[in-house]
Amino acid sequence: MSGAPLATEERRIEVGRGVRLRVRRDACATPDAPTIVLSNSLAASLEMWDAQVALLRTRFHVVRYDTRGHGGSDVPAGPYGFSDLVGDVVGLMDALAIPRATFMGLSLGGMTGLGLAIAHPDRVERLVCCAARADAPAPVVAAWESRIATVSEGGVDAIADETLARWLSDDFRARDPERAAAIRAMIAGTPADGWIACARALQTLDYARSLGTIKAPTLYVVGSDDAAATPDVMRAMAEATPGARLAVIEGGRHLPNVDSAAEFDRVLAGFLGIEAA
């Protein structure tokens, strides 16, 4: 069947306290479909979800945004806290008149999803939390301090190569050098001030003790080879979250939705009840 292409629109939306976020909406063919909101990792933009949109829009209106400090969104003065990042999502949903949505985030975005599900349970239908952790023990805080020093001096480009190696497997980078180069450019293009302000939020992460209060059905997803949010860390989070499931993507690193997109989409479709095409 041919027909008019489905609507995609992009604009900057004020989400409160003068902050404007870059937002893209890819519409579902079914006008009254539910919405899924997607939230990016540190040093990424909404394009990190490109591989998932075709699947998701068969069932959902897909709303993606650049987290403050990233991409085409504002870079208000930092440091930020998770209350800012969660408040931005609530402001975005209010601005788009979305009372309740499924939420999927990866790493920084996954932690934002935890905060949203904990503080605003009425706004979250289901939660997909990928490649995240729920706390910031001292060695993690110290590792961010060291990266913040590097970025303060040389910008995000100074950590782009090491970040790319944590995010994508050697195999993926050899198989798809163009996509890997695009992901590197996305990392390096992140404003240093925005990256640092969000890294400061990561140093204050403190959701581990509240996971037991999450009401939304929750899927945790982690790459088996993720050194940043390890399968063990995420297994403990799943055990602490009522009824949650954990999916481990074999061979995936920190961006399993890019690195192992087919397997990631299979797991996602199962959780969200999307039929395979």
Residue 196 interacts with ligand LWBT4IAB (CB under 6 A)?
A: no
Options 73, 163, 190, 241; binder of ligand LWBT4IAB; rule CB under 6 A: 163
Question: 28 or 106, CB closer to ligand LWBT4IAB?
Answer: 106
Q: Tokens 């930092």, residue?
A: 78
Please give the size of the binding site for ligand LWBT4IAB, defined by CB under 6 A.
9
Phi and psi at 190, nearest 5°, equal -70, 130
Span 18-37, contacts to ligand LWBT4IAB by CB under 6 A: none
If one counts every other C-beta atom within 10 angstroms of the C-beta of residue 159, the result is 21
In the complex, minimum distance from the CB of residue 179 to ligand LWBT4IAB, in angstroms, rounded to a whole number: 17
Task: Please count the residues of the chain.
Answer: 277
In the complex, minimum distance from the CB of residue 250 to ligand LWBT4IAB, in angstroms, rounded to a whole number: 19
Span 204-263, contacts to ligand LWBT4IAB by CB under 6 A: 228, 254
CA distance 95 to 57: 21
In the complex, minimum distance from the CB of residue 244 to ligand LWBT4IAB, in angstroms, rounded to a whole number: 20
Question: 28 or 130, CB closer to ligand LWBT4IAB?
Answer: 130
Distinct helix (H) and strand (E) counts, the chain: 11, 8
Residue 41 interacts with ligand LWBT4IAB (CB under 6 A)?
A: yes
Residue 202 interacts with ligand LWBT4IAB (CB under 6 A)?
A: yes
Nearest to 59 by CA among 34, 85, 84, 25: 34
Question: 15 or 48, CB closer to ligand LWBT4IAB?
Answer: 48
Span 81-140, contacts to ligand LWBT4IAB by CB under 6 A: 107-108
Residue of closest CB approach to ligand LWBT4IAB: 107
In the complex, minimum distance from the CB of residue 228 to ligand LWBT4IAB, in angstroms, rounded to a whole number: 4
Would the CA dihedral through 72, 78, 84, 85 be positive or negative?
Answer: positive
Whether residue 177 is preceded by a cis peptide bond, meaning omega within 30 degrees of 0, is no
DSSP letters, 40-85, are: PPTT--GGGGHHHHHHHTTTSEEEEEPPTTSTTS---SS---HHHH
DSSP 88: H
Nearest to 132 by CA among 108, 165, 104: 108
In the complex, minimum distance from the CB of residue 107 to ligand LWBT4IAB, in angstroms, rounded to a whole number: 3
